[in-house]
Structures are given as structure tokens and as C-alpha cells.
Amino acid sequence: MMVDSFNIDDISLSNQFPFASNEDVVEVNRTPIAKKRWARSADYFVEEDEALVVAWENVSLDPVIGRDQSMKTYWMRIADHFHKNVKKPTNRSISSLSHRWSTMQECCNRWAGCIVSVDRMHPGGMTLDRLRNIERILVMPRGGLNRRM
């Protein structure tokens, strides 16, 4: 039986590479890939909010299709209606419109809850202005004075 033995000194790394010399090696200067940074778009204008509400209402309350559609189709239809009817042309994405709608819906639900709370108090003989002041007071602790409604 033949035993092959070798020492660490017997290993040569010079012949391990296919290059005969360093002249064949070409250095490539790679430029770093620039990451695309997403900038926040501008705040929504009142006209855009109104156009979004109208678009949501028309698509959601459509008697033929209504909400019986996929989420993607639903928001594509809302976006199409929004872009056709907004007074100042914008480039709002479907994601942006959906997020804005959820923010608006949260505020509307909170306001509706305050109105229901005031109605449950049975404030007989109170003027409409006084009722609105009570509703505003009920909203303030949840959002603070600086939070947009």
C-alpha cells in the first residue's frame, strides 16, 4: 500500500491561478449603485381631498359593481376617477390615495363617534353652535389642538 504524504511546505499557491502574471489582471473601477431615495410628495390640498371623496363615493356606491371587486381593481377605479376629476393635475399613486383615504376615514369615524356621543346626552334646548362646541371638545383629547381633522 502506498502512502502519499506531504507537508504544508509542498503546497504552492503560485500555480493555483490561471494568470501567468499580474499583467493579465485588469482592475475594474466599479461605481457604487445609487440607491433610489423616495421623497415624500406634497401634502394633499383640499381640492384633492374633495376629489378623493367623490371618487370613493362614485366607485363604492356604484349600483352595478359596488364593492364586489378585487381590492386592486377597486383602487384602480378610484384612482382613475380621482385623476379625471381633480381640478389641478397630480401624480398621486394608488398607494398614496389609499393611505390618504384611510387617514380621512379615521378622522370621519372619530367625528361621527363624537356626534353620536352628543346625541346620546339628549341635550334638549341647546343651540346647534353649542352642540358643535361640545363635539369639538370631545375630539380634542384624542388628537390634541394641532392635529388636523
The Cβ-side half-sphere exposure at 31, using a 13 Å CA radius, reads 3
Q: At what angle do helices 128-143 and 94-120 cross, to 10 degrees?
A: 120
Instruction: Write the pLDDT tens digit of every residue in 80-102.
Output: 999 999 988 889 999 999 999 99
Identify the pLDDT of residue 109.
Answer: 85
Instruction: Write the pLDDT tens digit of every residue in 52-85.
Output: 999 998 998 888 886 678 899 999 999 999 999 9
Cβ 56 vs Cβ 86: under 8 Å:
no
Q: At what angle do helices 94-120 and 71-85 cross, to 10 degrees?
A: 90
